[in-house]
């Protein structure tokens, strides 16, 4: 494509000081009109035309750098079940197609770039910043970040979350504030669950439902289905991974002093509970039979000192590796 008129305009601008004052003023006025109009076009592009197979990050970053007002341009979308409209930012349009009512899969790979540039330009500063990453739209009652942890492909959206974290755009307090851990712990989000817990392991230990239940009890509270079993195993495995010295948090208690392990037995029965626990133990066996370098004790010894420990579980762990008791006999 030839840029005949563009090159002519650039030549004129380079020699603007040679022109009469009145013409220089006209050029300035026209330039402002041109840039304002082009910023609107760029904003429309960010809302409607972003496509990961057609455009590169370098192109989009250059566009925002040259026309930064485009990133704050809002598009009016119809509200659900209402005759009114609400404004959304480009990053919101990149996450969701409000006309088709579906995830905008062609544009979601650009979310980290839009968030990074939004933070740099202080866009959405009064709404969590990051270009609108945490802004909740009224139409779908969701935010860009919520869609990333909740919807879509686990593997694809995990990559976006990882990139956001590397860019320091996923603070721990924001994750805790906006993600219900019991919803995140789902077999269809297992990679995202594991990754967000990796960012903040203490969240797993400290989280409680409104009723005061630890995670394992909360997700198994109402249904003993196969899906629930998979969710429980996710939570137990995360516990073993991050808290082997507390035996995967299986001895966490409710306000009534009932442990998660005991609750699982009451809910699923002894046989099914042991099947789940053994499945999880096999994956993290090595960490459970290794001494804690800070105490020089095995996890089983630390767990045995707890007031809520379960003798059957401790006995099973000893049978896994009786040599653990060699130092104490």
Q: Does residue 8 lie within any of the structural domains?
A: no
Q: Does residue 289 lie within any of the structural domains?
A: yes
pLDDT at residue 100, as a whole number: 86
The domain boundary, picked from 148, 179, 210, lies at 179
Residues 205 and 145 in one domain: no
Residues 135 and 280 in one domain: no
What is the four-CA torsion angle of 74, 135, 116, 201, rounded to 10 degrees?
Answer: -170
**The whole model's pTM is what?**
0.83
Q: Does residue 23 lie within any of the structural domains?
A: yes
In angstroms, the CA 41 to CA 54 distance is: 18
Structural domain containing residue 219: 201-329
In angstroms, the CA 45 to CA 50 distance is: 7
Q: Does residue 194 lie within any of the structural domains?
A: no
Q: Does residue 167 lie within any of the structural domains?
A: yes
Residues 29 and 167 in one domain: yes
Residues 172 and 304 in one domain: no
**What is the number of domains present in the chain?**
2
pLDDT at residue 167, as a whole number: 95
In angstroms, the CA 135 to CA 143 distance is: 5
Per-residue pLDDT of the chain (329 residues), as tens digits, is 567 788 888 888 888 888 889 998 998 899 899 999 999 999 999 999 999 999 999 999 999 999 999 999 999 988 766 678 889 999 999 999 988 889 999 999 999 999 999 999 998 766 667 889 998 888 777 899 999 999 888 888 999 999 999 999 999 999 999 999 999 998 789 999 999 999 999 999 999 988 888 999 998 876 667 788 889 999 999 998 998 888 888 888 888 888 888 888 888 888 888 888 888 888 877 777 677 677 766 666 666 555 556 666 666 666 666 665 555 55
Exposed e or buried b for every residue in 204-233, given b needs 16+ CB within 10 A? bbebebeeebbbbbbbbeeeeeeebbebbb
Determine how many CB atoms are found less than 10 A away from the CB of residue 103.
18
Residues 24 and 154 in one domain: yes
The domain boundary, picked from 179, 213, 234, lies at 179
In angstroms, the CA 51 to CA 105 distance is: 9
Residues 35 and 81 in one domain: yes
pLDDT at residue 81, as a whole number: 65
Exposed e or buried b for every residue in 159-168, given b needs 16+ CB within 10 A? ebbbbbbeee
Residues 167 and 243 in one domain: no
Residues 102 and 236 in one domain: no
């Amino acid at each position: 494509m030839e840029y005949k008129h563009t090159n002519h305009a650039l030549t004129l601008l380079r020699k603007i000081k040679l022109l009469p004052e009145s013409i220089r003023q006209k050029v300035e006025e026209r330039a402002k009109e041109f840039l304002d109009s082009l910023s609107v076009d760029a904003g429309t592009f960010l809302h409607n035309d972003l496509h990961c197979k057609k455009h590169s990050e370098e192109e989009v970053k250059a566009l925002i750098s040259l026309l930064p007002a485009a990133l704050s341009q809002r598009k009016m979308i119809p509200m659900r079940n209402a005759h009114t409209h609400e404004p959304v930012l480009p990053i919101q349009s990149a996450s969701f197609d409000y006309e088709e009512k579906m995830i905008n899969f062609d544009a979601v790979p650009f979310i980290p770039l839009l968030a990074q540039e939004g933070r740099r330009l202080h866009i959405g500063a009064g709404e969590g910043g990051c270009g609108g990453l945490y802004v909740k739209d009224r139409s779908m009652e969701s935010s860009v970040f919520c869609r990333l942890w909740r919807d879509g492909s686990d593997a694809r959206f995990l990559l976006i979350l990882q990139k956001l974290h590397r860019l320091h755009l996923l603070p721990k307090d924001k994750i805790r504030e906006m993600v219900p851990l019991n919803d995140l712990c789902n077999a269809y989000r297992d990679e995202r669950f594991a990754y967000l817990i990796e960012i903040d392991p203490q969240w797993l230990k400290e989280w409680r439902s409104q009723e005061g239940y630890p995670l394992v009890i909360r997700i198994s509270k109402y249904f003993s289905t196969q899906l629930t079993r998979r969710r429980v195993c996710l939570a137990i495995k995360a516990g073993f991974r991050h808290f082997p010295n507390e035996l995967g948090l299986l001895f966490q208690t409710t306000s009534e002093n009932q442990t998660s392990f005991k609750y699982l037995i009451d809910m699923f029965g002894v046989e099914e509970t042991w099947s789940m626990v053994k499945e999880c133990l096999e994956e993290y066996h090595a960490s459970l039979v290794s001494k804690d370098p800070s105490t020089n004790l095995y996890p089983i010894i630390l767990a045995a000192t707890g007031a809520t420990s379960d003798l059957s579980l401790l006995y099973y762990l000893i049978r896994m590796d009786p040599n653990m008791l060699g130092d104490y006999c």
